[in-house]
């Protein structure tokens, strides 16, 4: 399951970072992706502590980090397209 999320994440990050105009936008895209992945990892790690009625997602940190990173990468690609049109 991890490989299914890792391939689009890798492609999305490559497109998001390479699509930025100038070093400033490339670093900003990278920073946005890393922060979103850290937030996703925190949420997934916290979900792993659930028990009984709260549910439990074992080893959910990396999966959530990849999901949040993919959404951030696609958002950065969209922002790159929006900035190039204006």
Cα 18 versus chain centre, distance:
16
Q: From residue 32, give the alpha-carbon distance in Å to each of 49, 76, 77.
A: 26, 8, 12
Q: What is the largest CA-CA distance in the chain?
A: 51
Q: Look at the chain and report how many structural domains it folds into.
A: 1
Specify the pTM: 0.85
pLDDT in tens, the chain (86 residues): 778 888 999 999 999 999 888 899 999 999 999 999 999 999 988 887 766 656 667 778 888 999 999 999 999 999 999 988 87
Please give the Cα distance from 83 to 42 (Å, whole number): 30
Cα 17 versus chain centre, distance:
13
Residue located via tokens 């992945």: 37
- Domain span at residue 17 reads 2-85
């Amino acid at each position: 399951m991890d490989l299914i999320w890792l391939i689009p994440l890798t492609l999305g990050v490559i497109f998001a970072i390479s699509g930025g105009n100038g070093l400033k936008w490339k670093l900003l895209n990278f920073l946005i992706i890393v922060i979103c992945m850290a937030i996703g990892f925190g949420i997934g790690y916290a979900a792993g502590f659930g028990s009984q009625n709260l549910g439990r997602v074992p080893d959910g940190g990396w999966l959530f980090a990849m999901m949040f990173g993919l959404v951030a990468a696609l958002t950065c690609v969209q922002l790159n397209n929006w900035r190039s049109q204006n």
